[in-house]
C-alpha cells in the first residue's frame, strides 16, 4: 500500500523526507532524489554513528558494506525504505525490517551482465592460469611449460542456480562451445531449455560431471556451506570452481584442502565468507587468495561503470516511488504488484483504510466514549473479527494485500500513531496477528453492494455483543456492523452504514447522527451546532436500506442517519446537547 510522505494531513508544510546514503551512489541516481528530498551523503560511518542518527531519516540507501541490523531498524522510527544498490540483501535483517514496516528493495537486474561477464572472465583466467602466469612474469620468470592451460570448448559447465545471472552465464558459455548442465529446484524449465541448459535432478548429479562449477544463488540457510569437503570429494580432480555470487556457500577451509591435495584443479573466487577477508597464516581465506591455483578478486562482480550506474538509478527510482506513495519494482518483503493492477487498487486502498477508521470511530468508539450514545446504550465492544469482501472486478486481481493492510492501518491508526508504528503491506499481517485481529478476505465476482459500479468493498465487523445498541444499530441492537463502499472517478464513497443506505465521501470531520425520520430534525441539529459555532458544509440523509426493511422505533417512527460534514471536531458537551427527544438518538464525530 502507499507509504505516505511526511506531508501534514491538514495541508500545512512540513520538512521534506530525509534520505541517508552512507555508501557511494552515482550522481545520476542522486539527481533523481535531490529535487524532492533532503539527501545526506555520509560515508565512513561506524555502526554506532549510523545508529545514532538513523532516527532522523525516512530512507536509507546502501551497498554491501553497511549492516542493517535489528537494533538499527528498531532505532529508525521514521524509516520507510531500505534500498540495497545490488542484488544481495544478506547485509539487511529483512525479518526485522518487516516487523518494523520497512520496505526492503534491491536491484536484481542492474548488474546481471556485469556478474555474468566476471564469471566468464574468472573461468578463462583459471583455465589458462592467468593469475599465476602474471605473477610469474612480473617476478622475472618465463615458465611457459609449467603454465599450460586448458580450453573451455567442449567442457561441461555446471551451474547451481539458473536465475537471470545463471542463464546469462549459460548463454555466454554456449557461445564458447561449452555444454551446460544445471541444478535449481525452482528453475523455469522453459527458459532453461531456451538457453540450452540441461536441468539435472540434484546437486550430486551435476558435481560429478562438472569440468567447471559456478554458483549463482542467494546466500540463505539452504545454500550456506553447500559446497564442503564431501561435495568436493565427488568432483573430478581436473574440475575448477567459480564463485561470483556470495561468500559462505563454499567451505573455504575444505576448498583450500582440496586444492593443496590436488583433488581440485583450480578456483576463481570473487566473494568471501568475511569481507574483507581476514589476513594471517591461520586464515583459510587469506591462504586461498595466495594459492597459485586460485584467481581471486575483491568482490568485483558488479563493479563496472555500467552496473554501478544501473543499480544506483534503479534503487533511487524505487526510493522516490515509495516516499511519494507509489510502489517499488523489486520489494524483497512485499508482493510485486503490476502497474495496471496498482492503478485499480490505489483508490480502493484509500477507501478501505477510511472504512477501518470509520468503524473504529463510529461503531467501536461507543464502547468507551461517554455522552455519544442514547441513554442506556452501552455500545458494542471493539471487534477483532472482520470480514472484508471484494465484489465485482476487484475480486479478480492477483493480490489484495494492500487492501488487507489498509484495513489494519485504518483500524489501528489512533493506536499506532501514538506508538510510532508504521502499518503497511509489509508488516500488516504481523501487526494484525500481534493485536489479535482476524480478517477473513472474500472474493465475490458477481454482484456488488454499489449497484452500477464494477467493484465494491464490504466490511463486516462481528462484535459478539448481541443486544447492545451501538451507533447505527437498531433498537434491538446487533452483533454485526456493516460498512460498504465503492469508488467513482477515483473518489471513495461509503454506500452503507449497517442498516442505512447512503452515499458520502469519507473525508474530513463528519458528524453522524441517528434520529427519527420526522420533520424538523435537520433544523434542530443545525441550530444547536450554530450556537456552538460549528459550521456545516454539507449534509447527507441516509434512510434504512430497502432490502432490510424499516424498523419502527418509538411511537412507530422510522429512523434515518444524518451525515454532516463540519468544519472542525466538536466537544463532548455539544454532542450531549444534540441528544434529546426532539433532537437525535445517537451522535458520533468521525475524523478521516
Catalytic residue among 246, 287, 354, 365: 246
Q: Identify whether 432 is part of a domain.
A: yes
Alpha carbon 174 to chain centroid distance? 37
- pLDDT tops 60 at residue 377: no
pLDDT in tens, 251-287: 999 999 999 999 999 999 999 998 889 888 789 999 9
Mean pLDDT, range 547-563, rounded to an integer: 65
Q: 255 vs 155, 403, 499, CA distance in Å?
A: 21, 50, 72
Mean pLDDT, range 401-411, rounded to an integer: 88
Q: Identify whether 571 is part of a domain.
A: yes
Lowest pLDDT segment from 301-315, 357-371, 542-556: 542-556
- pLDDT tops 60 at residue 456: yes
What does the buried/exposed string (b/e) look like for 206-241 if buried means 16 or more CB atoms within 10 Å of the residue's CB?
bbebbbbbbbbbbbeeebeebbeeebbeebbeebbb
- pLDDT tops 50 at residue 378: no
Q: Domain containing 447 — which CATH number?
A: 3.30.1330.90
Q: In this structure, are 273 and 369 located in the same domain?
A: no
Question: What is the C-alpha separation between 235 and 245, in angstroms, rounded?
Answer: 20
- pLDDT tops 50 at residue 380: no
Mean pLDDT, range 426-453, rounded to an integer: 76
Q: In this structure, are 578 and 441 located in the same domain?
A: yes
Mean pLDDT, range 443-461, rounded to an integer: 73
Q: In this structure, are 352 and 462 located in the same domain?
A: yes
Q: In this structure, are 426 and 491 located in the same domain?
A: yes
Q: In this structure, are 124 and 75 located in the same domain?
A: no
Q: Active site includes 299?
A: yes
* Cell of residue 480, nine digits: 454485526
* 411 φ/ψ angles, rounded to the nearest 5 degrees: -65, -40
Mean pLDDT, range 291-298, rounded to an integer: 95
Q: In what order do the strands lie in the sheet with 509-516?
A: 536-543, 559-566, 509-516, 586-591
Q: Identify whether 328 is part of a domain.
A: no
Q: Identify whether 8 is part of a domain.
A: no
Q: Identify whether 503 is part of a domain.
A: yes
Question: What is the C-alpha separation between 557 and 474, in angstroms, rounded?
Answer: 12
- pLDDT tops 90 at residue 428: no
Alpha carbon 72 to chain centroid distance? 18
298: closest CA among 319, 324, 277? 277
265: closest CA among 244, 235, 245, 285? 235
Domain that residue 43 falls in: 18-109+306-323
Catalytic residue among 117, 275, 309, 326: 275
pLDDT in tens, 152-170: 999 999 999 998 899 999 9
For residue 490, count CB atoms less than 10 angstroms from its CB and return exposed for 0-12, middle for 13-18, buried for 19 or more. Answer: exposed
Question: What is the C-alpha separation between 123 and 73, in angstroms, rounded?
Answer: 40
Q: Identify whether 9 is part of a domain.
A: no
Amino acid 557: pLDDT:
63
Catalytic residue among 299, 435, 444, 462: 299
Q: Active site includes 568?
A: no
Instruction: Calculate the dihedral angle through the C-alpha atoms of 358, 359, 364, 365, rounding to the nearest 10 degrees.
Output: 0
Question: What is the C-alpha separation between 283 and 524, in angstroms, rounded?
Answer: 86
- pLDDT tops 50 at residue 446: yes
Pairing of β 491-497 and β 500-504: antiparallel
- pLDDT tops 50 at residue 352: yes
Q: What is the pTM of this model?
A: 0.65
Q: Identify whether 395 is part of a domain.
A: yes
Q: Please state the domain count of the chain.
A: 3
Question: Final residue of a domain: which of 261, 296, 331?
Answer: 296
Match 456492523 to its residue by C-alpha cell. 481
Mean pLDDT, range 553-561, rounded to an integer: 66
Mean pLDDT over the full length of the chain: 85
Highest mean predicted confidence (pLDDT) among 387-396, 428-437, 448-457: 387-396
- Label residue 417 by pLDDT band (50, 70, 90): low
Largest CA distance in the chain: 112
Question: What is the C-alpha separation between 122 and 360, in angstroms, rounded?
Answer: 61
Give one DSSP letter per residue of 282-302, joined into a string. T-HHHHHHH-TTEEE-SS-TT
Q: In this structure, are 69 and 132 located in the same domain?
A: no
Lowest pLDDT segment from 54-63, 172-181, 321-330: 321-330
Amino acid 556: pLDDT:
45
Mean pLDDT, range 99-121, rounded to an integer: 91
Highest mean predicted confidence (pLDDT) among 184-198, 325-339, 508-522, 547-561: 184-198
Amino acid 516: pLDDT:
86
Q: In this structure, are 33 and 120 located in the same domain?
A: no
Amino acid 15: pLDDT:
82
Q: Active site includes 291?
A: no
* Cell of residue 292, nine digits: 597459485
Q: In this structure, are 427 and 551 located in the same domain?
A: yes
Amino acid 468: pLDDT:
35
Q: In this structure, are 277 and 310 located in the same domain?
A: no
- Label residue 449 by pLDDT band (50, 70, 90): very low
Q: In this structure, are 402 and 511 located in the same domain?
A: yes
Instruction: Calculate the dihedral angle through the C-alpha atoms of 6, 8, 13, 14, rounding to the nearest 10 degrees.
Output: -40
pLDDT in tens, 481-516: 999 999 998 899 999 998 899 999 999 999 999 888
pLDDT in tens, 200-209: 999 999 999 9
Q: Domain containing 78 — which CATH number?
A: 3.40.50.720
Q: Identify whether 333 is part of a domain.
A: no
- pLDDT tops 80 at residue 297: yes
Could you tell me what percent of the chain has a pLDDT over 70?
Answer: 87
Give me the helix-helix angle, 401-419 and 339-358, nearest 10°. Answer: 50
Q: In this structure, are 347 and 449 located in the same domain?
A: yes
Q: In this structure, are 520 and 536 located in the same domain?
A: yes
Amino acid at each position: 500500500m502507499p507509504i505516505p510522505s511526511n506531508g501534514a494531513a491538514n495541508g500545512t508544510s512540513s520538512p521534506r523526507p530525509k534520505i541517508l546514503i552512507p555508501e557511494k551512489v552515482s550522481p545520476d541516481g542522486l539527481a533523481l532524489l535531490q529535487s524532492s528530498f533532503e539527501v545526506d551523503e555520509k560515508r565512513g560511518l561506524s555502526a554506532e554513528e549510523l545508529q545514532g542518527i538513523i532516527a532522523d531519516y525516512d530512507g536509507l540507501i546502501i551497498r554491501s558494506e553497511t549492516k542493517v541490523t535489528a537494533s538499527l531498524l528498531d532505532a529508525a522510527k521514521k524509516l520507510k525504505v531500505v534500498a540495497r544498490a545490488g542484488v544481495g540483501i544478506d547485509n539487511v535483517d529483512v525479518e526485522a525490517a518487516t516487523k518494523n514496516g520497512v520496505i526492503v528493495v534491491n536491484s536484481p537486474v542492474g548488474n546481471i551482465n556485469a556478474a555474468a561477464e566476471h564469471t566468464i572472465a574468472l573461468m578463462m583466467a583459471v583455465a589458462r592460469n592467468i593469475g599465476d602466469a602474471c605473477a610469474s612474469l612480473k617476478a622475472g620468470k618465463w615458465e611457459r611449460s609449467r603454465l599450460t592451460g586448458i580450453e573451455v570448448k567442449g567442457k561441461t559447465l555446471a551451474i547451481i542456480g539458473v536465475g537471470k545471472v545463471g542463464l546469462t552465464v549459460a548463454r555466454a558459455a554456449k557461445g564458447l562451445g561449452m555444454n551446460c548442465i544445471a541444478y535449481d529446484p525452482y528453475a523455469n524449465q522453459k527458459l532453461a531449455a531456451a538457453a540450452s541448459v540441461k536441468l539435472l535432478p540434484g546437486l550430486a548429479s551435476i558435481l560429478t560431471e562438472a569440468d567447471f562449477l559456478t554458483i549463482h544463488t542467494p546466500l540463505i540457510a539452504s545454500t550456506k556451506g553447500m559446497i564442503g569437503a564431501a561435495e568436493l570429494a565427488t568432483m573430478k580432480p581436473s574440475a575448477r570452481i567459480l564463485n561470483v555470487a556470495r561468500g559462505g556457500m563454499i567451505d573455504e577451509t575444505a576448498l583450500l584442502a582440496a586444492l593443496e591435495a590436488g583433488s581440485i584443479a583450480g578456483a576463481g573466487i570473487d566473494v568471501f565468507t568475511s569481507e574483507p577477508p581476514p589476513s594471517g597464516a591461520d586464515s583459510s581465506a587469506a591462504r586461498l587468495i595466495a594459492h597459485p591455483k586460485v584467481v581471486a578478486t575483491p568482490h568485483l562482480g558488479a563493479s563496472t561503470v555500467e552496473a554501478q550506474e544501473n543499480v544506483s538509478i534503479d534503487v533511487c527510482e524505487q526510493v522516490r516511488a515509495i516516499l511519494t506513495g507509489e510502489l517499488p519494482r523489486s520489494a524483497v518483503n512485499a508482493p510485486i504488484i503490476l502497474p495496471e493492477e496498482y492503478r485499480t487498487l490505489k483508490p480502493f486502498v484509500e477507501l478501505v483504510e477510511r472504512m477501518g477508521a470509520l468503524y473504529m470511530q463510529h461503531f467501536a468508539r461507543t464502547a468507551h466514549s461517554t455522552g455519544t450514545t442514547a441513554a442506556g446504550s452501552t455500545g458494542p465492544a471493539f471487534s477483532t473479527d472482520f470480514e472484508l469482501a471484494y465484489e465485482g472486478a476487484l475480486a479478480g486481481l492477483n493480490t489484495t494485500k494492500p487492501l488487507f493492510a489498509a484495513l489494519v492501518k485504518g483500524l489501528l491508526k489512533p493506536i499506532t500513531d501514538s506508538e510510532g508504528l508504521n502499518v503497511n503491506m509489509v508488516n500488516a499481517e504481523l501487526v494484525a496477528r500481534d493485536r489479535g485481529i482476524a480478517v477473513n478476505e472474500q472474493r465475490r465476482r458477481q454482484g456488488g453492494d454499489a449497484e452500477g459500479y464494477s467493484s465494491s468493498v464490504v466490511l463486516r465487523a462481528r462484535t459478539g455483543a448481541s443486544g447492545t445498541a451501538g451507533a447505527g444499530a437498531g433498537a434491538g441492537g446487533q452483533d454485526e456492523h456493516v460498512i460498504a463502499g465503492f469508488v467513482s472517478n477515483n473518489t471513495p464513497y461509503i454506500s452503507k452504514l449497517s442498516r442505512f443506505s447512503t452515499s458520502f465521501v469519507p473525508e474530513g470531520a463528519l458528524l453522524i447522527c441517528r434520529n427519527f425520520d420526522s420533520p424538523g430534525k435537520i433544523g434542530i441539529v443545525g441550530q444547536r451546532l450554530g450556537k456552538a459555532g460549528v459550521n456545516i458544509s454539507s449534509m447527507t440523509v441516509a434512510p434504512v436500506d430497502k432490502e432490510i426493511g424499516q424498523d419502527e422505533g418509538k411511537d412507530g417512527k422510522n429512523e434515518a442517519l444524518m451525515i454532516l460534514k463540519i468544519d472542525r471536531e466538536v466537544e463532548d458537551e455539544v454532542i450531549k446537547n444534540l441528544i434529546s427527544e426532539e433532537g437525535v438518538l445517537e451522535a458520533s464525530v468521525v475524523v478521516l
